[in-house]
Amino acid sequence: MDTQAYSKISNAALIQELYRRYRCQEEALRKRIVLLGMPGAGKGTHSAKMLARFCMCHLSTGDLLREEVRSGSEFGKKLKGIMERGELIEDEVMCNLIKQQLAKPACANGAILDGFPRTIPQAEKLDQILKQSGQSIDQAIFMNVREQVVVDRLGGRWTHLNSGRTYHYKFNPPKVHGVDDITGEPLVQREDDKEATIRNRLNVYQNKTSPIIDYYRKKGILFEVNAERPVNDIWKDIKSIVKTK
């Protein structure tokens, strides 16, 4: 236990966190939810809120991949080039990453899949993986937003690398310019948040990822949210959807 780190946290904050964890055990939903939408639709922001409220594990393939890149491994170097070009990672790589994460105890109360699946073959493979353990995707939440809105959003997006928290200097600014609200550590703008890469990512999304919306609609588990509204309004809708039996 890092007592020095805990000494920097107020008693009120610690008590609030203990209460949150207690409530998590009492209200565990044990759902597996896929968040869908263009890059920049708000999946990262709202998956973090879902994690805090419902205590599911948050499986962000973007974060998993960036962690591998930061490791400096040969595989990480290969991934870095692919990500900087805004291309999709091979299905087999992504499926294995998610399979490993779903098997961890942290995902026992349910999982939020953010950024996966991105293609129909990935969605089908995910269904196969879950079926092996008697599970399935319970809900797919589609955060609908126009392409130009995405470009405007991502152009001002900055990230806290260690936690994955994101900020926007127009729509969701940090309390202090350039630093994370929680840790005080510096924020960075990722290479894949720059406009040229964003445009390419959106092209890839339209060609390969958007068909997944119909895939889950046909299964009768798709819920659509207007993601161009204020964050609090979007979150209210998502909470209502997640609580749906």
Residues noted as catalytic: 43, 118, 157, 190, 201
Report the 10 Å Cβ neighbour count for 133.
Answer: 9
Inter-residue contact 140 to 216 (CB < 8 Å): yes
How far is it, in rounded angstroms, from Cα 62 to Cα 226? 23
Phi, psi of 37 (to 5 degrees): 150, 165
